[in-house]
Amino acid sequence: VEAPRPELAFNTWPVDGEVHLSWEAMPEATSYTLYWSTEPDVASERPHKIEGIEATRYIHRGLRNGSVYYYQLVGV
């Protein structure tokens, strides 16, 4: 049985038409996949994904002001 992984700090802040995201590096991850949705259940729906993020920050551009976005980050 594996011990649960500790939660990593994941920060978001909106800027006009964008969401800036940053997070703590995940041990052993060489890149990240960011899943996002306008629905709260990102884990089961996963309609959108951004692959190959090699840094611990990302700017999600082209978004609609006033909309709510939900994110899930996966280390690869």
State yes or no: pLDDT of 7 exceeds 70.
no
Q: What's the chain's average pLDDT?
A: 89
Residue 67 near residue 38 (C-beta atoms within 8 A):
yes
For residue 15, the cross-strand partners are 18
The reported pTM is 0.83
Q: What single string gives the DSSP state of each residue in 26-65? A: PTT-SSEEEEEESSS-HHHH--EEEEEE-SSEEEEESPPT
Place 43 in a pLDDT band, splitting at 50, 70 and 90.
confident
Mean pLDDT, rounded, for 31-51: 86
State yes or no: pLDDT of 40 exceeds 70.
yes
Tens-place pLDDT, residues 9-29 = 899 999 999 999 999 999 889
Residues whose CB falls within 8 Å of the CB of residue 7, separated by 6 or more in sequence, listed in order: none
Going along the chain from its start, the domains and CATH numbers come out as 10-75 (2.60.40.10)
